[in-house]
Amino acid sequence: MTTDSPLPSPGTPVGVYDSGFGGLTVLRQLQRVLPELDYVYLGDNGRAPYGGRDVDTVLNFAEQCVERLFGEGCRTIVVACHTVSCVALRHLQQRYGSAERRVLGVTIPAAEAAVAATRGHVGFLGTARTVASHTFRTEVRKLSATVQVSEVAAPVLAPLVEEGWEDTDIARLAVARYAAQFGEIDTLVLGCTHYPLLERAFREVVPAGVAVLNPAPEVARRFAIWRAHHPALAPAGSGRLRVLSSGDIARFARHGARFLGEELPPVEHIAEQQGRLALCPDEAEPPGQIVRE
């Protein structure tokens, strides 16, 4: 059973979209700064990770997720996924943006925070696709021609966090190996929304004097400023949260609480059907082989 109709929701929610659990670290900061807003979070963890995907696949997935959130009544969507923000944000803005609908990203706030914090050399750690785009470096150069940016792809880290292994020796070893690839940086930007759960491990391995920067608080701060100028696109509600997941909803609820810092409301399942993401209230999947009618 599927439905394209959103469930009743007070107010006009802000959509927050990520390829999996990680964007809940951004939502956590948004709720801290703007608790009066309603939010709909979409985690596309059934098709995660995005970091090793080709560009066309990332664009296709991003279109489906953004359309689903607009279908839920959102007028503003925050793309919390760094991969989508670095690769697909401009496409999403041109395809869907208007005076009535906006799509915002996390890359520019991350670059602004890095330039404000650095003494001249920023290290940026992200997924393979995020780093290959060089979008973060481009945004930093728009802000400062003198700041040097070194980028390292860390494809192992997000899956480790998705499994809940951030406090294991395996995770600490992986963090140390990636951190060691940077030269003499003074600021390390965690350019994936999963990485804040590894922040303690990073602080333990980077040299003294290197700032470890989680962009999520700056994303929330900049969104609050933007929202003050566009209140009609993100009006106050009742602080309600809905959560949509394209993966196993029980697993999403269990692991998602680690990212959000509190228990999630009942997670609603969505799945791709005929090129669109549809709500699937009957989420339980039968065992064995399936024959589609």
> Domain 107-217 maps to which CATH number in 3.40.50.2000, 3.40.50.300, 3.40.50.1860, 3.40.1190.20?
3.40.50.1860
Where is pLDDT greater, at 5 or 253?
Answer: 253
Instruction: Identify the band that residue 8 occupies on the pLDDT scale cut at 50, 70 and 90.
Output: very low
Task: Tell me the pairing of strands 276-279 and 267-273.
Answer: antiparallel
State what percent of residues in the chain have pLDDT above 90: 85
Spatial separation of the C-alpha atoms in residues 41 and 145, rounded to whole Å: 36
Instruction: Identify the band that residue 283 occupies on the pLDDT scale cut at 50, 70 and 90.
Output: low
Please give the average per-residue pLDDT across 92-110, as a whole number: 96
Q: Which of 74, 86, 192, 280 is catalytic?
A: 192
CATH topology for the 14-106+218-279 domain: Rossmann fold (3.40.50)
Spatial separation of the C-alpha atoms in residues 233 and 227, rounded to whole Å: 8
- pLDDT value, residue 291: 77
Please give the average per-residue pLDDT across 234-239, as a whole number: 95
Task: Tell me the pairing of strands 39-43 and 267-273.
Answer: unpaired
pLDDT exceeds cutoff 70 at 286: no
Q: Which of 65, 81, 86, 280 is catalytic?
A: 81
State what percent of residues in the chain have pLDDT above 70: 94
**Phi and psi angles of residue 138, each rounded to the nearest 5 degrees, phi first:** -60, -45
- pLDDT value, residue 25: 96
Same topology between domain 14-106+218-279 and domain 107-217: yes
- pLDDT value, residue 9: 45
Residue 100, amino acid = E
Please give the average per-residue pLDDT across 3-25, as a whole number: 76
Instruction: Identify the band that residue 285 occupies on the pLDDT scale cut at 50, 70 and 90.
Output: low
Spatial separation of the C-alpha atoms in residues 195 and 166, rounded to whole Å: 9
- pLDDT value, residue 7: 42
Catalytic-residue membership of 74: no
Please give the average per-residue pLDDT across 2-29, as a whole number: 78
pLDDT tens digit string along 245-261?
A: 999 999 999 999 999 99
List residues bridging with 148 in a β-sheet.
121
Residue 94, amino acid = Q
- Mean pLDDT across the chain: 92
pLDDT tens digit string along 135-177?
A: 999 999 999 999 999 999 999 999 899 888 999 999 999 999 9
Q: Environment class of residue 111 by beta-carbon count within 10 Å: exposed (0-12), middle (13-18) or buried (19+)?
A: buried
- pLDDT value, residue 282: 62
Spatial separation of the C-alpha atoms in residues 121 and 148, rounded to whole Å: 5
pLDDT exceeds cutoff 60 at 85: yes
Spatial separation of the C-alpha atoms in residues 128 and 53, rounded to whole Å: 9
- pLDDT value, residue 137: 97
Helix (H) or strand (E) holding 241: strand 241-245
Spatial separation of the C-alpha atoms in residues 66 and 145, rounded to whole Å: 33
Please give the average per-residue pLDDT across 104-114, as a whole number: 97
pTM above 0.85, yes or no: yes
Q: Sketch the domain layout of the chain as residue ranges.
A: 14-106+218-279, 107-217
pLDDT exceeds cutoff 60 at 82: yes
